[in-house]
A and B are shown apart, each in its own frame.
Chain A
Amino acid sequence: MKDENASPKSAGVWTMIFTDVHFWVPAMVLLAGLVVLHWIR
């Protein structure tokens, strides 16, 4: 039986993740690290 709540719930989790400072801090640091690596290699 199809769970009609599945998609909205899943979308809600992604919204939570993308509005979480705990996600953006490491994500931005990762991006900066990739830039440094590209420059120094």
Chain B
Amino acid sequence: MESSAAKMISPSVESARLRKLQLVGILCGFGAGAWLGAAEAPTKLVKLGVSPLVVSLLMVVGVFLARWSLPALIRGTGQMRADIRQAPHLIVWGILAGCLWAVANTLTIFAIRDIGLSIAFPLWNINSLLGIFWGYLLFNELRDAGKLRWLTVLGGALLMFAGATLLAVASSAQSPAEHPLRGILAALGAGVLWGTMYVPYRKAYLTGMNPLSFIAFFTIGELGMMLTLALAYGGGPDALFHQLELATPVLFWLMLGGFVWVIGDLFQQYAAKYIGISRGIPLSNTNQLWGLLWGILVFGELRGLSTSLYAQVIGGSLLMAAGAGAIALSSVTSKEHARWKQAADREGQRYGVDSEYVQAALSGNDASKPNGLTSTKSTRTWLDWLLVIAATTIFVTLAVLARAPKMALNWPALAALAAAMLVFLFTCGIALWKTTRFN
């Protein structure tokens, strides 16, 4: 079911547009890696005596604040309402994805506690292999892509997995496992949950939903599930309140971790939208490299190890980088893109979504324009500004109350990594704005 708007676009223009969107998707995948890698740093606070469940809950509160205020600032909540009118069924998948994230994140905190970040990280990064599987099975990704694309995507993901394992072996020298079986199960469980969480993501973006709208509903499932877990396993409301009081000095840092994670996830969602989950997830999994950089340079991990262990770390990092490079070079062919469109049409027909809306969104155009069903203005209302002001006020208040954790930090390295993140933020943000206007 081809839309009239899509029919008017010549194949060469469409193919040029496709190439542009893929470049933006690849850039967003790498940007996601940088920001998601940095977001793991606050979980180190678990060792400072705060319950893992409270750590996860507080990160989710930070995520919740960011996920309602950032879309309001970038696009306005009016656009969000327009998206929901087109595909209301996707609210269910948004909430489901949020629940998956909350359980996975809690599992990672248990995994870090039991086997250490350096072993847990590569284990839960198996999510990229699962993402390729779900992308192929459920959304026609890599169909008609040719042997070379298959080889580069699958080979790249396996290279990244091998690199991640090498890094784990090297860095585990400094973090002996306390409860290996429990920790490994938690890390693998998180990988499976995160790998499957991309099913709702991809469904939403094939149907045409904007990532900025989807993440707002995601947070409802995320916060609801996390609060339920914290209450159920944390000993009830009184015990939870007591834990929150204990965590007051680190509230800001944990919520900041959630905020940083949201920016990374936002880039990850644009990557999933424009290059699919089979390519987007492995690219965002370069977060392990960034996590390692933060660990080694800022927190002084792996200090004083033997030359052979350093060689393993460098070798593992190079393998991961090579894998990511292979995937980045594996562009989507027009044949494969046609299969994506088939999957999108199937979704549109099943749920009665306007085909012009679906096609426009797939091409990163303003989905509200074709039929005039919704306003094309992206001006913010008083509600949007209220959301932004409320989130900013909460963060500033918590920052004033916060105490710096008693940890030896390498501040110049921290500043350098933060600058690299800002470079990614502006580069990805400008590319998205120029190419899609965040549509």
Decide yes or no whether A2 CB sits under 8 A from chain B: no
Residues of A close to B138: CB separation below 8 A: 21-22, 25
Main secondary structure of the interface of B (DSSP, over half): helix
Contact of A22 among B192, B197, B203 (CB under 8 A): B203
Contact across chains for A33 and B229 when beta carbons are under 8 A apart = no
**Candidates A13, A21, A30, A41; contact of B351 at CB < 8 Å:** A13
Q: Mark A23-38, 1 if CB is under 8 A from B, else 0.
A: 1011101101110110
Question: Which residue of B88, B100, B229, B350 is within 8 Å of A30 (Cβ)?
Answer: B100
Note all chain B residues with C-beta closer than 8 A to A23.
Answer: 92-93, 96
- In chain B, positions 85-104 with a C-beta closer than 8 Å to chain A are 88-89, 92-93, 96-97, 99-100, 103-104
Determine if A30 and B193 form an interchain contact, defined as CB atoms under 8 angstroms apart: yes
A26 touches B351 (CB 8 A): no
Q: If A13-B88, A30-B96, A37-B107 touch, does A22 touch B185 (CB 8 Å cutoff)?
A: no
Whole-angstrom distance between the alpha carbons of A27 and B138 in the complex?
15
Shortest CB-to-CB span from A30 to chain B, Å, is 5
Is A26 in contact with B97, judged by CB distance below 8 angstroms?
Answer: yes
Interface footprint category on B: 20 to 34
Kindly state whether residue B233 has any CB partner on chain A within 8 Å.
yes
Q: How far is the CB of A39 from chain B (nearest CB, A)?
A: 8
Residues of A within 8 A of B31 (CB): none
Assess whether B88 is in contact with A25, with CB atoms less than 8 Å apart: no
Interfacial chain B residues near A13, Cβ < 8 Å:
88-89, 351
| Cα A34 to Cα B111 with chains together (Å) | 15
Inter-chain contact B196/A25, CB cutoff 8 Å = yes
Q: How many A-B residue pairs have CB under 8 A?
A: 69
Query: Which residues in window 261-289 of B have CB below 8 A to A?
Result: none
Q: Which residue of B lies closest to A9 (CB)?
A: B352
Inter-chain CA distance A13–B196, complex, in Å, is: 23
Q: How far is the CA of A9 from the CA of B100 in the complex (A)?
A: 28
Residues of A within 8 A of B134 (CB): 25
**B186 contacts A by Cβ under 8 Å:** yes
In the complex, chain A residues whose CB is within 8 Å of the CB of B351: 13, 16
Query: Once bound together, how far apart are the Cα atoms of A13 and B89, in whole Å?
Result: 7
A17-B89, A33-B103 known; A25 vs B193 contact (CB < 8 Å): no
Q: Are B189 and A33 in contact (CB under 8 A)?
A: yes
B210 within 8 A of A: no
**How far is it, in angstroms, between the C-alpha of A22 and the C-alpha of B99 when the chains are bound?**
15
Residue B110 at the chain A interface, CB threshold 8 Å: yes
Residue of A nearest to B199 (CB): A26
Asked if A11 is at the interface of the complex by the 8 Å CB criterion, the answer is no
User: Is the CB of A1 closer than 8 A to any CB of chain B?
Assistant: no
| Smallest CB-CB A-B distances: 8 pairs | A29-B196, A33-B103, A36-B189, A33-B193, A40-B182, A26-B199, A22-B203, A26-B196
A17-B89, A25-B138, A33-B192 are known; give 11 further A-B pairs, CB within 8 A.
A13-B88, A13-B89, A16-B89, A22-B138, A22-B200, A29-B100, A30-B103, A30-B193, A37-B110, A39-B185, A41-B233
